[in-house]
Amino acid sequence: MPARGKVLISEPFLQDRMFGRSVILLVDHTQDGTMGIVLNKPLPLYLNDILNEFQYTEEIPIYKGGPLSTDTLFYLHTIEEVPDALPVGKGVYLNGDFDIIKQFILEGNSFEGRIRFFLGYSGWEYEQLLQEIKENNWLIGKEDATSLMDEKNSAELWKKALGKLGSKYETWSRFPQIPTMN
């Protein structure tokens, strides 16, 4: 069953531009609906591109978190001391006081594996997601939320997450994205 901190993995035949071959961390799942962040869809943008007042020498990548509120910056992090952050999974938080996040980065702390930035989020009505899971559009993954923070592996994240579900799914991960192009 879907729940906060669980991971959704799209089935290999889902031919959707946003959700095809995606891995989504669920940040909330209630009777009111479900919110998630797509973890493996990089954008051709960096944090300095959208926050002019944030002057940092390294390029900090931004990912497309989903098709809703694409003008809103969301961030997942592993920094416990951030006020107003929402605990999502073991040691992983959503948002919170952005000044603390900026200060953490500007002090020279490594953000890799600690903070990831996203524009937008994904959302479903309560029954909608359950129906999509029943129709096998989504699998519930076995990933640990903290293992999803490493952005260097975002291109392989979908295959890796499928592989953790067993040999049947590992075989699925090798299926061509567009079978007619094979």
Read off the CATH number of the domain in which 108 is found: 3.40.1740.10
Instruction: Please tell me the distance from the alpha carbon of residue 19 to that of residue 150, in angstroms, as a whole number.
Output: 20
Beta-strand relationship, 68-77 and 115-124:
antiparallel
2 located within any domain: no
Place of tokens 């392989």: 156
Q: What is the pLDDT of residue 114?
A: 94
Give me the average pLDDT of each 10-residue run along the chain (182 residues): 93 84 95 96 92 79 96 96 94 96 90 94 94 94 84 81 82 60 50
Instruction: Please tell me the distance from the alpha carbon of residue 19 to that of residue 32, in angstroms, as a whole number.
Output: 22
Q: How far is CA 163 from CA 166, 169, 174, in A?
A: 6, 6, 10
**Contacts for 15 with CB less than 8 Å, ≥ 6 apart:** none
Q: What is the pLDDT of residue 176?
A: 58
Q: What is the pLDDT of residue 177?
A: 56
How many domains is the chain built from?
1
1 located within any domain: no
Instruction: Please tell me the distance from the alpha carbon of residue 11 to that of residue 90, in angstroms, as a whole number.
Output: 25
